[in-house]
Amino acid sequence: MTSSPRLSLRLVLALSGWVALLAAQFGPDGPLRVALTAAFLLSCPGTAAMLLARPVPTRATSFPDRLAAGVLALALSVTISALVAEAFFLSHEFTVGRVLVTLAALTTVLALVPRGHRIRIRPAEGPRERVRTAARGLRRSHSRRVGLLGAVGLLAFSTACGTASGGDDPTARPSLAPLTSPSRDGSPSGSSPGGHSPAATGPWHLVFQDDFSGTALDRDKWATCYDWNQHGCTNPGNPEKEWYLPGQVEVSGGALSLTAERKTVKGSDGETYPWVSGMVSTGRDTADDRPHRTFTYGYLAASIRIPTDDKGMFPAFWLAVLDSRVDPQELDVAEFINTNEYVDMNLHYGANYQSDGSVHHQVGPADFAADYHVFAMDWQPESITWYVDGVPHFRVTDPALIPDTEMQLILNLAVGYQQLPPDHVNSARLQVDWVEVWQH
């Protein structure tokens, strides 16, 4: 017994979202990955919804009916995808993976939920009855097309209204402004020549700066490990695969380079690590030392070029309290977790790791690895604003969530968080043109 075309279509729709998810999360970069994801988002959720609500066009259906049904499926798919994405945006939990998982599950349910069978019995028709039936069919076909097109217009209008009305949530994500084109030194286009003035207005004065113009790291400003440094270190709070060593930190050509290399080493903690990498911090060299520099509030900015090979890499520009092993408060100016197209901006808050929480925002897509980009944060007692190339993208205005303690500034290139680098990738490099901190 052969399966019906309707059943085959339902099975294809049920699997389509999971195929798109696998392609987006684990597939190689290229047109096939984009095509699979786009095809799913633009057609499958809406088609599955139409299957549940009414029959799909058959071979006997006229071309206008099939076209109208296709347009409706597209409109439904776009609407469903937009609503799911918007829900994650407003709850500060948006990631591409979460949206695809939700849409894949929804499409599977819509495609596989059982429907009742309809049995239609028509009496035999004579010639006159066939003519009348055909005329009624034409009128119904026209009405159906008008109704379908009207539904498309209503869906588009409601989606536009829903997207435009973002509410008054102080931590809601603003619309994403386009990224400006950076100049070669990492300064936003249109900034004053030779200067990196804060994008936020205010009576600023420069309190910390490093343009890495020398031939070695300024050890008066920077440590090369966390303060539990014992001939190297790692971040035990994350399941990472790198062991940080001072030799992976280099200053040359007017830039700081943090280089990750595939090299097996045994850390002083007794564990074996398949990668070595570099990091710098304004915190303490060891737990018994004084920190090089800490900051409470200010405009913190860095011009950064992230690695081209992104899978398995986790470059970050962030701030943490000195005793970060027991205090979860953290400000992530820019994180790139296994991507060079989307930058994460995070605020972690709470008195301890048992009661911690976070708010999150993501900006992209953009080719952040192609050149230097300026990532910045304006941290004030009443608000925190995140910037990319001088453009504000995210703001938190709840003072109860905002840290008011001293924090160290960190730049690092972690490896193996959430996924391992591909076998053909043996090194990656994070470059920093300059770092500045301004305060009122």
Tell me the pLDDT tens digit for each residue of 25-70.
Answer: 666 656 787 888 888 999 899 888 887 776 555 554 677 777 878 8
Confidence at residue 180, expressed as pLDDT on a 0 to 100 scale:
41
Euclidean distance between the first and final Cα of the chain, in Å?
A: 78
Per-residue confidence band for 295, with pLDDT thresholds at 50, 70 and 90? very high
Structure tokens at 369: 């690895």
> What is the tens place of the pLDDT at every residue in 221-270?
999 999 988 889 998 888 899 999 999 999 999 999 999 999 999 999 99
Phi, then psi, of 235 in degrees rounded to 5: -105, 100
Average pLDDT of the segment spanning 186-208: 70
Average pLDDT of the segment spanning 153-174: 41
Per-residue confidence band for 428, with pLDDT thresholds at 50, 70 and 90? very high
Share of the chain above pLDDT 90, in %: 51
Q: State yes or no: pLDDT of 345 exceeds 50.
A: yes
390 in Cβ contact with 281 (< 8 Å): no
> What is the tens place of the pLDDT at every residue in 398-418?
999 999 999 999 999 999 999
- Rounded Cα distance, 365 and 272, in Å: 35
Q: Which CATH class is domain 205-439?
A: mainly beta
Per-residue confidence band for 126, with pLDDT thresholds at 50, 70 and 90? low
Question: Helix/strand/coil (H, E, C) string of 158-208?
Answer: HHHHHHHCCCCCCCCCCCCCCCCCECCCCCECCCCCCCCCCCCCCCCEEEE
Predicted TM-score (pTM) of the model is 0.60
17 in Cβ contact with 44 (< 8 Å): yes
